[in-house]
Amino acid sequence: MTAPKIAPSHSSEPIVVPVALAERAYDIVIGRGAIATLGARIKALRPNAKTVILTDVTVAKHHLAKVESILASADIANSHIVVAPGEGSKNYATFETVCEAIIAARIERSDLVIALGGGVIGDLAGFSAASVRRGLDFVQVPTSLLAQVDSSVGGKTGINSRQGKNLIGAFHQPILVIADTAMLDTLSPREFRAGYGEVAKYGLLGDADFFDWLEENWRDVYAGGPAREHAIAVSCRAKAAIVARDERETGERALLNLGHTFGHAFEAGAGYSQRLLHGEAVALGCVLAFEFSERQGLVGGNSVARVRTHLADAGLPTKASDVQGGVPDVDRLMELIAQDKKVKRGKLTFILARGIGQAFVADDVDAAGVRAFLQEKISARDSE
Ligand code: GLY
């Protein structure tokens, strides 16, 4: 897909991105103030549904009253469940609490669960919806940039096992996603920047024109005008196209994991804590994936420098020494990579690149080469 050099002029009409999944097709509605259309859109999709909203304490403070009043104005019965914010809520205990609360709210097969929050809430609400009464429909109202461009779209839902992230879950597509870009105004600058790591990822993996556009316009994306809506729409279109072709990740969908293999190792090494947010880990992981691709002779010219410079300009970590509190040693990093991805006879699967916008799945990457590369990266520290 091609991004225009100049973002389209601001329009009060939301941008609608369809996700073409036959009987599971749905729209992603993107725009400043798009939440105002929630009631009418639910009425059109499920005229008699009552709803239960799952949210967290922080998001509830900013947005719950408004969402409740929008639903009430459309005569849609609603109740809510509020959980603690953070990754810790993606556990068995909270999943049980949420499922029991959905049943107690008398939500039936013709009713709806609404996920109002970031990625944790979307994953937890989606998996609870997939499980209660063998499958309830749900609507995503993502309130973080990361959730608007990634986790609310595509139907991956789940919770964490004691043995790893997202190991318990289901593919369960929402029936509607409303990404109100004004809701991002309440994010901390750091949280917003972390989400931008996933936005840049779409340019890097398959759309060089979009990456060019981001290099010129990222400040406007941060500022919150029409450029923000445009960047979110391009990201969602890219994800929707990949998901429509490979819903269950048997092939191409793995490209969305660009930056995630290296990134997850550093994220897990930092204990999935505030030391390194997920989107920050993805940004660092994208730089490492490009640097490693260069090492393999796959990518040349100034591509790697452009990736590094752009993500650093946008305020994201691009080298191991940017991780607060330091990083694990190479043995631990390799252990974490092996846990994340299957190692077959000393070979690893990585998403590598032949250039900006030209990512591909490489399933025969030599583990010893990765180890030597990482060793160099974590000892070089500030040399880049
Ligand atoms: N976040 C990667 C995917 O949805 O496949």
User: Of the residues 202, 239, 250, which should be mutated to test ligand 1's pocket, given the most ligand atoms within 8 Å of the CB?
Assistant: 239
Marked catalytic residue, from 87, 191, 215, 249: 249
* C-alpha closest to that of 290 among 378, 226, 225, 201: 201
- How do residues 371-382 score in pLDDT, each as one tens digit? 999 999 999 754
**Domain residue ranges in the chain:** 15-186, 189-383
* C-alpha closest to that of 342 among 378, 372, 367: 367
- For the CA of 254, the nearest atom of ligand 1: 5
CATH code of the domain occupying 189-383: 1.20.1090.10
Active site (annotated) includes residue 247: no
- For the CA of 243, the nearest atom of ligand 1: 5
Residue 18 has pLDDT above 90, yes or no: yes
User: How confident is the model at residue 96, as a pLDDT?
Assistant: 98
Ligand 1 neighbours by CB, cut-off 6 Å:
150, 154, 156, 249, 253, 256
Average pLDDT, the chain: 94
**Distance from Cα 153 to the centre of ligand 1, integer Å:** 8
Strand, helix or coil for residue 364: strand
User: How confident is the model at residue 2, as a pLDDT?
Assistant: 44
- For the CA of 156, the nearest atom of ligand 1: 4
- How do residues 100-153 score in pLDDT, each as one tens digit? 999 999 999 999 999 999 999 999 999 999 999 999 999 999 999 999 999 999
- For the CA of 256, the nearest atom of ligand 1: 2
Active site (annotated) includes residue 63: no
User: How confident is the model at residue 383, as a pLDDT?
Assistant: 47
Strand residue runs (E) in the chain: 15-19, 26-31, 51-56, 78-83, 112-117, 137-142, 156-161, 164-171, 176-180, 343-344, 347-353, 359-366
Residue 6 has pLDDT above 70, yes or no: no
pTM above 0.75, yes or no: yes
Marked catalytic residue, from 46, 165, 198, 310: 198
In this structure, are residues 126 and 155 in contact, taking their beta carbons and an 8 Å threshold?
Answer: yes
Q: How confident is the model at residue 4 (pLDDT cuts 50, 70, 90)?
A: very low
User: How confident is the model at residue 164, as a pLDDT?
Assistant: 84
- Of all protein residues, whose CA lies closest to atom 3 belonging to ligand 1? 256
The residues facing 174 across adjacent strands are: none
User: How confident is the model at residue 341, as a pLDDT?
Assistant: 62
Pairing assessment for the beta strands 164-171 and 176-180 based on DSSP bridges: unpaired
User: How confident is the model at residue 299, as a pLDDT?
Assistant: 97
Active site (annotated) includes residue 257: yes
Residue 5 has pLDDT above 90, yes or no: no
What is the rounded CA–CA span in Å between residue 200 and residue 263?
Answer: 14
Residue 206 has pLDDT above 70, yes or no: yes
Separation of CA 210 from chain center: 18
Residue 366 has pLDDT above 50, yes or no: yes
**Distance from Cα 255 to the centre of ligand 1, integer Å:** 9
Report, as an integer, the average pLDDT of 155-160. Answer: 97
What is the percentage of the chain residues whose pLDDT exceeds 70?
95
For 290, the enclosing helix (H) or strand (E) is: helix 278-295
Other CB atoms within a 10 A radius of the CB of residue 162 amount to 7
- Of all protein residues, whose CA lies closest to atom 2 belonging to ligand 1? 256
The token duo for 81 is 């469940």
**Distance from Cα 369 to the centre of ligand 1, integer Å:** 26
Active site (annotated) includes residue 217: no
- For the CA of 242, the nearest atom of ligand 1: 5
Report, as an integer, the average pLDDT of 256-284. Answer: 95
The CATH architecture assigned to 15-186 reads 3-Layer(aba) Sandwich (3.40)
Active site (annotated) includes residue 371: no
Active site (annotated) includes residue 253: yes
User: How confident is the model at residue 342, as a pLDDT?
Assistant: 61
Report, as an integer, the average pLDDT of 345-361. Answer: 93
Residue predicted with more confidence, 192 or 340: 192
Q: Are 15-186 and 189-383 in the same CATH fold?
A: no
User: How confident is the model at residue 7, as a pLDDT?
Assistant: 46
The residues facing 83 across adjacent strands are: 56
Other CB atoms within a 10 A radius of the CB of residue 50 amount to 17
Spell out a b/e string for 98-113, using b for 16 or more CB atoms within 10 Å of the CB, else e. Answer: bbebbeebebeeebbb
In this structure, are residues 181 and 36 in contact, taking their beta carbons and an 8 Å threshold?
Answer: no
- The number of CA neighbours under 13 Å toward the Cβ of 40 is 5
In this structure, are residues 150 and 197 in contact, taking their beta carbons and an 8 Å threshold?
Answer: no
- How do residues 158-185 score in pLDDT, each as one tens digit? 999 988 889 999 999 999 999 999 999 9
What is the percentage of the chain residues whose pLDDT exceeds 90?
91
Active site (annotated) includes residue 260: yes
Marked catalytic residue, from 32, 63, 253, 341: 253
User: How confident is the model at residue 347, as a pLDDT?
Assistant: 86
**Distance from Cα 313 to the centre of ligand 1, integer Å:** 25
**Distance from Cα 119 to the centre of ligand 1, integer Å:** 11
Active site (annotated) includes residue 278: yes
Q: How confident is the model at residue 210 (pLDDT cuts 50, 70, 90)?
A: very high
User: How confident is the model at residue 338, as a pLDDT?
Assistant: 87
For 178, the enclosing helix (H) or strand (E) is: strand 176-180
Active site (annotated) includes residue 198: yes
- How do residues 312-345 score in pLDDT, each as one tens digit? 999 999 999 999 999 999 999 999 998 776 666 7
For residue 156, with 0-12 CB atoms within 10 Å meaning exposed, 13-18 middle and 19 or more buried, which class applies? buried
The token duo for 155 is 């139907």
Report, as an integer, the average pLDDT of 180-197. Answer: 97
Active site (annotated) includes residue 156: yes
User: How confident is the model at residue 278, as a pLDDT?
Assistant: 95
- For the CA of 153, the nearest atom of ligand 1: 4
Residue 353 has pLDDT above 90, yes or no: yes
In this structure, are residues 370 and 352 in contact, taking their beta carbons and an 8 Å threshold?
Answer: no
